[in-house]
Amino acid sequence: MPNFGNVQLKLLERLCNVIAVSGDEGEVRKIVLEEVKPYADEVRVDALGNVLATRRGRGAKRMRVMLDAHMDEVGFMLVADDGEGIYRFETVGGIDARHLLGKQVYVGKDRTSAVIGGKPIHLMDNGERMRKVPVDGLRIDLGPAGKAKVGDRAGFATQFRRVGPSILSKSIDDRIGVATLIDLVKHSPGNVDLCAAFTVQEEIGLRGAKVAAQYFNPDLAIAIDSTPANDLPVHEGGENITYNTKLGLGPAIYIADGSTLHDPRLVRFLQSVAETESIPYQLRQPGGGGTDSGAIQRALAGIPTVSVSVPHRYTHSPISIARVDDWKNTLALLHAALKRITPELIAKR
């Protein structure tokens, strides 16, 4: 594995600080193109906005391996102009409205400063104070003379931070996957043709991954994403048995989620690579949710697919937290796994 350090972290910071709401991924696309062009044999931007980069290996019997990371993030779209700089909005992707009141956002291509506001607490009765404010009770406010356009996207105005062992940032889901995939393109081993899919619109239905898989027609695929760590303590004690993943235990390998039973050969393969290389890993608790693997697996005549995620807390909120070591170990696992991929891996069920 290449050295892990400032280069990767600086890239992640750049990726996290730009806004790329599903359907408007241009800001991330720009960075991805700039980063992968010098290393890829072919790069194209497809009809949906996916960046599809191929880096060929050397030698015979090369496997076509599709690696996928989604560029988009959850956010907002302005849907109506209430006048005097105040706009109604809808959420794009799954956002808990309880994370929105009193947050700062950037609106549109020029990143215009704005805030999400609602009725002040002083003007409410006790019942209202403890009731969730639905999205249609909230507004994006640019200031009285503020101008935006209906259709503009907005995203959280959170700045990326390194704190001790952690990263505090918006959209770790899935910029950490994008940064991982860029690193894998830069250091792709010779035994595979690496088909890197930087996809769009994952958060609103895995739309980019579907066409990316159809374009690449790979032998196998790995979706690289970031999955929730619901590893907070139970209030007043007791064991948390539905944590999904835990921070600090390493990359999370998927077995089953809401849309996919991951290819058992690939699940076992990743586990054995981790064990051989002494890389910590965890098995994501089987359950709901999903990644681009759901779309890739059933593309064309079917593609053996697995999913690996860096765990993060506070998903789809203004600030998520991930551990640097979990990311480092995810990169280590994927670099080590890529080198070991051979046709035998999926020759038999």
Partner 1 sequence: MTDILPFLKSMITTSGISGFETSVAKLIEDKWRPLVDEISMSRVGSLHGLKRGTLGGSKNGVATNKRPAAMIATHMDAIGMMVSKVSDGFLHITNVGGIDVRVLPGSFVTVYASSGEELPGVIAMPSAKLLPEEVNGGDVLEINYLLVDTGLMPREVERKVKVGDLVSFANEPMELADEVISGHTLDNRASVAALTVCLEELQGKSHIWDVWAVATVQEETSYLGAYTSAFKLHPEIAIAVDGTFAKGPGANGWQTHPMGKGVGICMGPNMHPYLHKQLTDLATKLELPWFLDVTSAHSGTDAYPMQVTTEGIPTALVEFPIRYMHTPVEAVSVKDIRRAGRLLAEFIASLETDFVEKIIWE
- Contact with partner 1 (CB under 8 A): which of 113, 217, 272, 276? 113
User: C-alpha dihedral over 47, 335, 259, 320, to 10 degrees?
Assistant: -90
Q: Any contact of residue 122 with partner 1 (CB under 8 A)? A: yes
Residues 290-319 contacting partner 1, CB under 8 A = 313-314, 317-319
Q: Which of 202, 203, 239, 277 is catalytic?
A: 202
Q: Any contact of residue 9 with partner 1 (CB under 8 A)? A: no
Nearest to 327 by CA among 279, 260, 289: 279
DSSP of 164-206? TTEEEES-HHHHHHHHHHHHHHHT--TTEEEEEEEES-STTTS
At how many degrees (to 10) do helices 264-276 and 324-340 cross?
Answer: 110
Q: What is the C-alpha to C-alpha distance for residues 187 and 235, in angstroms, rounded to an integer?
A: 45
At how many degrees (to 10) do helices 172-186 and 324-340 cross?
Answer: 40
> Least separation, in Å, of the C-beta of 281 and partner 1?
20
Cis? peptide before 174, omega within 30° of 0: yes
Interaction mask 46-85, partner 1, x per CB under 8 A: ------------------------------------x--x
- Contact with partner 1 (CB under 8 A): which of 163, 278, 301, 348? 163
- Contact with partner 1 (CB under 8 A): which of 1, 11, 45, 115? 115
List CB contacts of 70: < 8 A, sequence separation 6 or more.
174, 177, 178, 198, 199, 200, 201, 202, 203, 208, 209, 225, 292
Q: What is the C-alpha to C-alpha distance for residues 283 and 270, in angstroms, rounded to an integer?
A: 11
Q: Which stretch binds partner 1 (CB under 8 A): 43-51, 72-80, 232-240, 301-309?
A: 232-240
- Contact with partner 1 (CB under 8 A): which of 59, 61, 83, 131? 131
Would residue 202 show up in a list of annotated catalytic residues for this protein?
yes
> Least separation, in Å, of the C-beta of 327 and partner 1?
14
Helix (H, G, I), strand (E, B) or coil at 1: coil
> Least separation, in Å, of the C-beta of 143 and partner 1?
3
Q: What is the side-by-side strand order in the sheet with 282-283?
A: 42-45, 51-55, 192-199, 63-70, 220-228, 305-312, 252-253, 282-283
Q: Any contact of residue 321 with partner 1 (CB under 8 A)? A: yes
Q: Which stretch binds partner 1 (CB under 8 A): 20-28, 70-78, 122-130, 208-216?
A: 122-130
- Contact with partner 1 (CB under 8 A): which of 44, 147, 149, 268? 147
Q: Any contact of residue 125 with partner 1 (CB under 8 A)? A: no
Q: What is the binding site for partner 1 (CB under 8 A)?
A: 82, 85-86, 96, 98-104, 112-123, 129-133, 137-139, 141-147, 157-159, 161, 163-168, 230, 232-236, 240, 242, 313-314, 317-319, 321
Which of the residues are catalytic?
A: 202
